């Protein structure tokens, strides 16, 4: 059976066609085996570090079945909203295995997180002072620093630069120390995240120097959190973050810091895309072929309401025709059915497409379904997970009742 070319995926074309027929399209398909392989890659790359904590970034995909799979494997959870915290609790994660790192939230939401008993990261001087004044004696917290490092494959996912809204500026460290000392806050961890799709390992190493320099000023830390940002391959010639190279280099810095600090801390990473992206496939059906003076459009039964990354981030996703995988290669611009420009791929080389064919988008595991919407009153797709060679429906396709569920009709 033919595999999807150019990528080391575990699912074959015949299986994907079968799933499209069984569950309909548009359809998200996730391969649990690929997720676990990616997780093992991280563990192996950082095996030189004595105390390693892996927390899945749930914002990548919050389907509770995926969370339960990670919980079963002993992976912790990274959350950015109180709703993600609640889903994590429902999935069975112990509160102390959940890290909550919000941005721009109210004190009321942080108090709710405290009531759940999760680990809280604060990235705002005002909230740090408020929390310290009210809860300093009974609840340890972590602090998110902004290292002023430009990292990330796109300006929208670069979050550690000087003008970023995320984290407390490293240069405001004297203010942090003053608040901590005045309120007697117990700081148990320091956090940093510079962005996503970071290729250069030097960015992670520069961030480590900043975190270790800050950490040495706190006596009783339990962990240091590096966030994540590991890049994955999106096209045949793409290069991922070399975590096998990063692991030993970071390990040397970590061990040197531990000797200076006098204590071994837990080193935490929060991968989302790295674990999930390559496990996912998005299957769509070709509605019509439309030829203009300059382009051949393959118009599919989806749009940016289901799969917004190409439009929002200018992200590249490999697209293959799994109905005709060995056909003559032609140039197609793949577009959706939304009433605005929703181009998935411009002039992609794809085997010859006919109306009714099934196209497969790669790297659809992370930040795809979770960013979907009901724009144009379209239904969100179903989700399927392949686990131990068996396919499971893990989210039903929406219906008209889902669109109308929260509408309150009034008499006019």
- The catalytic residues are 339
Cis peptide before 26 (omega within 30 of 0): yes
Alpha helix stretches (DSSP H) within 99-242: 107-116, 125-135, 173-183, 201-215
| Residues 112 and 82 sit within 8 Å (Cβ to Cβ) | yes
DSSP 70-127: HHHTT-EEEESSHHHHHHHHHTT--GGGEEE--SS--HHHHHHHHHHT-EEEE--HHH
How long, in residues, is the chain?
Answer: 412
DSSP 397-409: PP-HHHHHTT---
Q: Which two tokens stand for residue 185?
A: 């806050």
Q: Which residues are annotated as a binding site?
A: 229, 309, 313, 340, 367
Q: What angle do CA 301, 273, 194 make, to 5 degrees?
A: 125
Q: Which residues are annotated as a binding site for pyridoxal 5'-phosphate?
A: 229, 367
Q: Which two tokens stand for residue 386?
A: 């392949």
Contacts of 58 (CB under 8 A, 6+ apart): 67, 77, 78, 79, 84, 87, 88, 272
Burial class (CB in 10 A: 0-12, 13-18, 19+), 100: buried
Pairing of strands 141-146, 168-169: parallel
- The label of the residue with tokens 């080389």 reads 349
- Residue 292's CB is within 10 A of a number of other CB atoms, namely 8
User: Distance (Å, rounded) from C-alpha 149 to C-alpha 58?
Assistant: 24
| Residues 39 and 57 sit within 8 Å (Cβ to Cβ) | no
């Amino acid at each position: 059976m033919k595999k999807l070319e150019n990528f080391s995926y575990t699912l074959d074309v015949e299986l994907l066609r079968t799933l499209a027929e069984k569950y309909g399209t548009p359809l998200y398909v996730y391969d649990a085996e690929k997720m676990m392989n990616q997780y093992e890659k991280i563990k192996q790359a950082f095996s030189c570090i004595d105390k390693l904590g892996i927390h899945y970034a749930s914002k990548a995909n919050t389907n509770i079945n995926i969370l339960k799979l990670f919980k079963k494997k002993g992976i912790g959870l990274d959350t950015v909203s109180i709703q993600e915290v609640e889903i994590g609790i429902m999935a069975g994660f112990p509160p102390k295995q959940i890290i909550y790192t919000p941005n721009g939230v109210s004190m009321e939401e942080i108090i709710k997180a405290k009531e759940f008993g999760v680990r809280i990261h604060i990235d705002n001087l005002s909230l740090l002072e408020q929390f310290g004044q009210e809860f300093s004696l009974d609840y340890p917290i972590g602090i998110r620093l902004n290292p002023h490092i430009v990292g990330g494959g796109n300006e929208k996912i670069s979050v550690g630069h000087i003008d970023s809204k995320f984290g407390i500026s490293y240069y405001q460290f004297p203010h942090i120390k003053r608040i901590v000392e005045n309120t007697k806050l117990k700081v148990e961890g320091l956090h940093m995240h510079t962005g996503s799709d970071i290729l250069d390992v030097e960015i992670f190493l520069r961030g480590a120097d900043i975190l270790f320099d800050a950490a040495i000023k706190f006596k009783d830390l339990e962990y240091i959190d590096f966030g994540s940002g590991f890049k994955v391959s999106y096209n045949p010639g793409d290069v991922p973050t070399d975590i096998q190279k990063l692991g030993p280099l970071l390990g040397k810095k970590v061990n040197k810091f531990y000797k200076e600090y006098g204590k071994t801390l837990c080193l935490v990473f929060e991968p989302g895309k790295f674990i999930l992206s390559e496990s996912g496939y998005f299957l769509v059906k070709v509605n019509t072929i439309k030829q203009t003076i300059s382009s051949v459009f393959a118009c599919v039964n989806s749009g940016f309401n289901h799969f917004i990354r190409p439009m929002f981030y200018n992200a590249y996703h490999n697209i293959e025709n799994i109905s005709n995988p060995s056909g003559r290669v032609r140039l197609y611009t793949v577009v959706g059915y939304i009433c605005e420009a929703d181009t998935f791929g411009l002039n992609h080389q794809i085997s010859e497409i006919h109306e009714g064919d099934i196209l497969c988008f790669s790297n659809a595991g992370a930040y795809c379904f979770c960013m979907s919407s009901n724009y144009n009153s379209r239904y969100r797709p179903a989700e399927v997970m392949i686990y131990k060679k068996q396919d499971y429906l893990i989210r039903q396709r929406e219906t008209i009742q889902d669109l109308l569920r929260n509408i309150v009709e009034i008499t006019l």
